[in-house]
A and B are shown apart, each in its own frame.
Chain A
Amino acid sequence: MGNVPVYSLESERDRYWAGYPKIVQEMVTGIFNAPAETPVEVRQAVEAYTARLAGGHRQDLPLPAGWEDYLQKMGLYAYKVVDEDIEELKAQGNSESAIYELSIAAALGAGLARMERVLMLLDEDEEA
């Protein structure tokens, strides 16, 4: 895959994801383009945040207020998420649909960053 670029919203997004396997592109397309309650900018910011937590290269984009603690758990140790975390988000006025959408976006970032890291190491190994 070569060096992982830092991508920005909209203008570079399609070119960035074009380097990924088609099946991964389908997943990214769904999460960023399918009808959703949350704005696409928010989903991208969430994906970027958890990707960076997992060592990925993404821009530092503004997160929605009140989500950082939950997203940090999602990005680093999702198994620590408990009912109270969800109840806290709902108490802040977030709908369950929004919680679902941003949780998936968070999982995408965390998972892709791990995949990117392995692919970078494989590239370095081939060049050595």
Chain B
Amino acid sequence: MRIKVIEQGMEGRSKLIARVSRLMFGFTVGPLFLSIYRRDYFGTAFGRLSQSTLRENTFWSRGEVEMFASFVSNLNHCRF
């Protein structure tokens, strides 16, 4: 379930990205959606934190970090 204000509240480029996501996957991909909605409130910082955490690690490999994230997501019953 998505709350309507989020689906309908996108504007400009964010709206386009959301539409492309729905066309490609049949739904708006969760992490993508979180990073493009209300960018000033949470979206931009969330996107940067996600990228930093998953891509800029100096000890673990990128694959290992992705696996940690996937494992914890699974424990939280989250498909991502």
Partner of A30, one of B1, B4, B5, B45: B45
B40/A34 in contact, CB under 8 A:
yes
Q: What CA separation (Å) do A75 and B49 show in the bound complex?
A: 20
Interface residue tally for chain A (C-beta within 8 Å): 21
**Per-residue 0/1 for B1-19: is the Cβ within 8 Å of any A Cβ (1 yes, 0 no)?**
1011110000000000000
Interface residue tally for chain B (C-beta within 8 Å): 18
Partner of B3, one of A30, A78, A79, A100: A100
Enumerate A73-109 residues with CB–CB distance to B below 8 Å. Answer: 78-79, 83, 86, 95-97, 99-101, 104
A122: CB under 8 A from chain B? no
Partner of B48, one of A23, A29, A86: A23
**Known interface pairs A26-B48, A27-B49, A79-B78; A104-B42 also in contact (CB < 8 Å):** yes
A-B Cβ contacts below 8 A, count:
48
**Per-residue 0/1 for B31-47: is the Cβ within 8 Å of any A Cβ (1 yes, 0 no)?**
00000001011101110
Partner of B49, one of A24, A79, A96: A24
A39: CB under 8 A from chain B? no
Specify which chain A residues have a CB less than 8 angstroms from the CB of B48 in the assembled complex. 23, 26
Question: Which of chain B's residues has its CB closest to A29's CB?
Answer: B45
A-binding residues in B (CB < 8 A)? 1, 3-6, 38, 40-42, 44-46, 48-49, 52, 76-78
CB<8 Å pairs between A and B, sample of 26: A24-B49, A26-B44, A26-B45, A26-B48, A26-B49, A27-B45, A27-B46, A27-B49, A29-B45, A30-B40, A31-B41, A31-B42, A34-B38, A35-B40, A35-B41, A79-B76, A79-B77, A83-B1, A86-B1, A86-B3, A96-B3, A96-B5, A96-B6, A99-B3, A100-B5, A100-B38
